[in-house]
Amino acid sequence: MKNAIRISCNRSNLKVVRDFVSAYLAAYSLSDLHLNQIVLAVDEVVANLIIHANGEDESQHLDLRLNVNNQVFGIEIEDDSNSSYVPSSYKEPDLQEHIRVGKKGGVGMTLVNRIMDRVEFSTTGTHNVCRLYKKIA
């Protein structure tokens, strides 16, 4: 099974990513809930990278690689963005304050951190790597 793809930074490729992750994980007989949670987490990170890090610039690309090792699903998402978007500086928002003021948005990474077992971001120059891990057994 193919475990890597490259997409241009266009929102229309979010469906491509969702389908790619779903097809890859289909071999592991996950519950629909578990599968949909993982797909949602990957979708959120990829959307953030397409929109915020790369400004939906179709000349920019994201590389995605999937694997399962010792019953842990792993995905690496890489790009070469020189934007000021720094996901490694993310701080969890005060959800009660979001609700109180009626703020929309800004909670996607909170969801990702709650779904996935481990989330890592690293940057070297303009090369960014996000790694997501989830035990699937």
Dist CA 61 CA 78 (whole Å): 8
User: For residue 19, what pLDDT is reported?
Assistant: 97
Which residues are CB-neighbours of 7 under 8 A, at least 6 positions away?
A: 13, 16, 17, 46, 61, 62, 64
Please write the tens of the pLDDT for every residue from 113-129.
Answer: 999 999 998 888 888 89
User: For residue 108, what pLDDT is reported?
Assistant: 75
pLDDT at 84 over 90: no
Confidence band (pLDDT; 50, 70, 90) for 35?
very high
Window from 13-27, 73-87, 97-111 with minimum mean pLDDT: 97-111
User: For residue 93, what pLDDT is reported?
Assistant: 55
Report whether 20 contacts 65 (CB < 8 A): no
pLDDT at 11 over 90: yes
Q: Which helix (H) or strand (E) holds 135?
A: strand 127-135
Q: Where are the alpha helices (DSSP H) in the chain?
A: 13-25, 32-48, 95-101, 108-115
- Average pLDDT for 68-72: 95
Nearest to 3, CA basis, from 19, 21, 15, 26:
21
pLDDT at 97 over 90: no
Dist CA 83 CA 54 (whole Å): 7
Length of the chain: 137
User: For residue 102, what pLDDT is reported?
Assistant: 60
CATH: 3.30.70.520, 3.30.565.10, 3.40.190.170, 3.10.20.30. Which one for 4-135? 3.30.565.10
Which residues are CB-neighbours of 63 under 8 A, at least 6 positions away?
A: 4, 5, 6, 76, 77, 78, 79
Mean of all residue pLDDT scores within the chain: 87
Q: What ranges do the domains of the chain cover?
A: 4-135
Express as a percent the part of the chain with pLDDT over 70: 81
